[in-house]
Amino acid sequence: MFTLKSLQKSRTFKYGIPMLLLVVGGSFGLREFTQIRYDAQKINRKLDPSLEARVSKQDQSRVLENEYEKMKGANLDEWKNIRGPRPWENSKDFQEQQRKTQR
């Protein structure tokens, strides 16, 4: 009986154990609620039928091979990096300036 009274007066038993249960229980509860959310999104998400047919027809490796073939023919030695306009610059003036310097 003495140990039960001393446990009830203990700050760890009074505040620590409930806090620990709240944190651990809350993490499990949040996991369940977020899983419900993602399951609902999965059910509601549907592709456009034409896009779905296109995606299912094409093999992804074929698409990558086609893109590789396109890039193989490109001349990368004459490539020049052109920066875009800054937010404070007028984009039309900047484009005209870039076109003049390219000529």
pLDDT score recorded for residue 26? 93
Amino acid at 57: K
Domain count along the chain: 1
In a domain, 87, yes or no: no
In a domain, 103, yes or no: no
Domain that holds residue 55: 1-67
Q: Round to the nearest angstrom and report the end-to-end CA distance of the chain.
A: 95
In a domain, 75, yes or no: no
Q: What is the pLDDT along the chain (103 residues), one digit of tens a residue?
A: 568 788 778 888 888 889 999 999 999 989 998 998 888 888 777 767 777 666 666 566 677 788 888 888 888 788 777 777 788 888 888 788 877 877 6
In a domain, 92, yes or no: no
pLDDT score recorded for residue 22? 94
H-state helical runs in the chain: 2-9, 11, 17-44, 49-57, 60-72, 91-102
Specify whether the CB–CB gap between 91 and 85 falls below 8 A. yes
Q: Is the pTM of this model over 0.85?
A: no
pLDDT score recorded for residue 53? 67
Specify whether the CB–CB gap between 47 and 55 falls below 8 A. yes
In a domain, 15, yes or no: yes
In a domain, 31, yes or no: yes
For residue 90, what are its two tokens? 């007028």
